[in-house]
Structure 1
């Protein structure tokens, strides 16, 4: 076996924190967790926010839309910035500046101020792109899919953990004498301070690549990474980027939408209590800590067996499974069977997310940031479109039910409204599931040249024959 050395990690040895790649992996994962924790941290407190600020139903919905909208534009921009300035500086400033609207949320006094803060807070959702770029630069091709998926799973975990963590922070501040009505304000301020502090840690304890920071490179001293060598227009012209944009819209975007609507669906369809339904949804969100990693792991395994095409084949397969599970779930009326299919859907959708970013680093290694940004933005676009579909279908069905049962009593109207919403969302899930199956077929359109396959195979063999060194 060839005995060579490299600073890129060839395995995910999570205990080897002396290694630059592993240390960076942990710091970027924790930063990503905190960003999503702060981004969705207001969700458990929305009833308090509505009551405190007097938000109308329309303003409450607008807050959700604005938070997602800000992320779309931020993800598109941040990828290009990562290619130019490096992920270290981009993450540092995103954490520091992104913490500001989170903190200011604790001081808002009007609905307009709250909506502006939600729009600006959405920018920290771009942390996903930087996380993927940074891990892609730190790990060799034999393990990059697993590393990307595992670090990304931490962010999604943060988006679910806030349901437990933020109320605990609120209970803590109440214990220090803060009025219960103001606890949500102090809680989001604390979340913002944590993000700000992580920005400082990120600057001092990470590097852009195992070989050093981008600003240390010279034209003749850049082993594999060069600053901004591929123009953004070149990336936009690559059809494979847009296929992956659609693919990520159909996995991460659908996960966000399904979990965002599942609480009400479980209550309306199976007459569950809100707390019970919320805990079921939370448990599926927490599966990200291992399910997304499985997607990246299988992507790497198929990459070893079948080359780059193998990564695409697995991505296509798991997308089809995801779509079939969601479509099947939509028509089930038995709670226990439904939960079984929901578990399988959750596993498949998160594996599909991990599998997507086991392919992304190989599209164009000279523009990983730009590509990650575009594909990442696809997730939020998918969430927005799917949410709009379910919102309009459910809204129309509920209005029709209210009109048909008007004058028959409040309980009858409420029951009819819940049944109408359940049926509309069920039809929406069925349609979305079929679209996801179609995206699995579309994913097969991602192709690599013989030259690309050869280069990837050479890199794989090199990484397998490489002995990493600490730095």
Structure 2
């Protein structure tokens, strides 16, 4: 097997740092990790934030929803910008501009200011799209699913690693004399400065394609090794397959985001766990990104080798169905041990589904990889938005009813009733969300490819294996 065909890497040799695709893979994964670390960095400090800013339950849920809403618009836009200007410049600007609301989050004084910062911090979630575009430009089709899934999985790890990383940063700041009541503010400033610094790294140590940057190739008169289409975005939004994948990514990545934001309190309320214990369980959930998403991309590629493009779709359907079944069973778990086993299985399935989704995306329309990646990526946050909204409606209504029913009793009784009501409401919501994942899995079977697409993919694969 040749290592490179027209500059693209045909294997994921992570130790070959001299290779432009491999170096880009590492830098994009690290940048993605930093973005997600900063995006969800405030989560471990939320009890202190609620106290300091006087957030009501509704304001707290609004901040969760806003944090994933801003990403929708950013992902839709960033894909088209990547097609036009290249991923290198797009990532550089995203890292530097995204650092601003992250730093400002540490300076807020009111609930409104906090909610606005969470909205704009969500823009750095568009880093996922740029990562997928960049790895798609760097790796050949026989390994692109694995490369996309691995870079995304390792970057996605930042969304859970902050459960450990942010408290460590906070401990270091306290050691330098920062008051514990103010440490969450300084920690967010630190996260923002790291994000900003990574922008310089991306600008100076990556390039758009194995052959060079878009701008340099144009100036030298060389052909950009990417199929382009002036109406790529319009073509993408007219393709029904893009919108099926939009929904599919909504019920895998969108649900994973929702779990990150709500599972701590659910485990505490349902199984009477301490906050630290619940946080460690969620950290373990996040750590599965080290390999689970890669498995989804890997099996997607292998299914493509055996069954063509249709094989990739069929594997995606199977793993989505598994995800929906497991979440439905988790919602009914009455034992902590069973719940942990099912949560682990769900983590494996949901992250594999994400990897399998982007093992299909690069083959929908090679003239608009950025636009399609942006639309599908935005689907993840739309899914998170509706899932969080659904959970908010059910949870807030149940909590308010429990508080009203126990009016006049001791604060301990009221808190116990509120926690029990919230647990039951979220459990019921998880069951319905599980059913929606099953439905999306069945709908994914409607994704079709033309005979020409299948022949082109088979020909490309045969060349890579020659």
| TM-score normalised by structure 1 residue count | 0.95
Structural mapping, 1:83-162, within 5 Å: 83-162=83-162
Aligned length: 465
| Corresponding position of 1:56 | 56
Q: 3-state DSSP class of the match of 1:251?
A: helix
Residues 256-307 of structure 1 deviation map (CA, whole Å, 9 limit, x = unaligned): 1123222222222222222211211111111111101100000001010101
CA RMSD in angstroms comes to 1.8
C-alpha distance in 1, partners of 2:48/2:406? 31
Unaligned runs of 5+ in 1: 466-471
Q: Displacement of 1:117 after TM fit?
A: 2.0
Q: Displacement of 1:420 after TM fit?
A: 2.1
Structural mapping, 1:445-464, within 5 Å: 445-464=446-465
| Corresponding position of 1:391 | 392
| Corresponding position of 1:262 | 263
| Corresponding position of 2:244 | 243
| TM-score normalised by structure 2 residue count | 0.96
Q: Displacement of 1:59 after TM fit?
A: 2.8
8 Å contact 1:402–1:416 — kept in the other structure? yes
| Corresponding position of 1:280 | 281
C-alpha distance in 2, partners of 1:138/1:295? 19
C-alpha distance in 1, partners of 2:458/2:92? 34
Q: Displacement of 1:408 after TM fit?
A: 4.8
Unaligned runs of 5+ in 2: none
Q: 3-state DSSP class of the match of 2:359?
A: helix
Q: 3-state DSSP class of the match of 2:108?
A: coil
Structural mapping, 1:30-429, within 5 Å: 30-218=30-218, 221-222=222-223, 224-429=225-430
Q: Structure 1 residues 3 and 125 mapped into 2: Cα distance closer, same or farther (>3 Å)?
A: closer
8 Å contact 2:226–2:367 — kept in the other structure? yes
C-alpha distance in 2, partners of 1:5/1:66? 43
Q: Structure 1 residues 419 and 60 mapped into 2: Cα distance closer, same or farther (>3 Å)?
A: closer
| Corresponding position of 1:468 | none
Q: Structure 1 residues 91 and 3 mapped into 2: Cα distance closer, same or farther (>3 Å)?
A: closer
Q: Structure 1 residues 194 and 205 mapped into 2: Cα distance closer, same or farther (>3 Å)?
A: same
Q: Displacement of 1:226 after TM fit?
A: 4.4
8 Å contact 1:214–1:227 — kept in the other structure? no
Q: 3-state DSSP class of the match of 1:447?
A: coil
Q: Structure 1 residues 273 and 43 mapped into 2: Cα distance closer, same or farther (>3 Å)?
A: same
C-alpha distance in 1, partners of 2:227/2:453? 19
8 Å contact 1:229–1:367 — kept in the other structure? no
C-alpha distance in 2, partners of 1:262/1:182? 26
8 Å contact 1:91–1:130 — kept in the other structure? yes
Q: Displacement of 1:5 after TM fit?
A: 4.8
Comparing 393-402 and 22-31, the one that deviates more: 393-402
Q: Structure 1 residues 412 and 114 mapped into 2: Cα distance closer, same or farther (>3 Å)?
A: closer
Q: Structure 1 residues 407 and 370 mapped into 2: Cα distance closer, same or farther (>3 Å)?
A: same
Q: Structure 1 residues 111 and 424 mapped into 2: Cα distance closer, same or farther (>3 Å)?
A: closer
Q: 3-state DSSP class of the match of 2:12?
A: coil
Q: Displacement of 1:409 after TM fit?
A: 4.0
Q: 3-state DSSP class of the match of 2:226?
A: coil
Q: Structure 1 residues 403 and 307 mapped into 2: Cα distance closer, same or farther (>3 Å)?
A: same
8 Å contact 2:3–2:11 — kept in the other structure? no
Structural mapping, 1:422-441, within 5 Å: 422-441=423-442
Comparing 202-211 and 408-417, the one that deviates more: 408-417
